[in-house]
Amino acid sequence: MSSSDKHEVNIAWNNCFRKIFNACWRESAKPLLFFCNTLPVSLLVDQRKILFFYKKTASSCNIVLGAMYNNLQKLASTYAISSPNAGNTDIKMAIWCHFTSSFTL
């Protein structure tokens, strides 16, 4: 998924939350997402990538998977996930903390 695709889906996702809660289109959807305990689509995509591929590629001897692991390691470090041995809950919590630290209520 390209960054422009993520951006377009994020816009649709945010507009859905604004419509459900009858919010103005100029208002940020982040508080709505926060109180619904939901991540923005871009972070959901990153979370799913990390949860699905990170552990599987860490122990692989395949060259292609090794290159994928390096990219996933960079992505994981964005969310302060230092080890592929981190549990699923720890990974989800790290991404949630990254989201909540990006704004104030």
CA 41 to chain centre: 7
DSSP, collapsed to helix, strand or coil, labels residue 87 as coil
15 and 25 in contact (C-beta within 8 Å)? yes
The residue ranking higher by pLDDT, 12 or 69, is 12
Residue 96 has pLDDT above 70, yes or no: yes
- Top-ranked range on mean pLDDT: pick from 17-26, 69-78, 95-104: 17-26
Q: What is the C-alpha to C-alpha distance for residues 72 and 91, in angstroms, rounded to an integer? A: 13
Instruction: For residue range 33-86, list pLDDT tens digits in order.
Output: 999 999 999 999 999 999 888 877 777 778 888 788 888 889 999 999 988 888
Give the pTM: 0.84
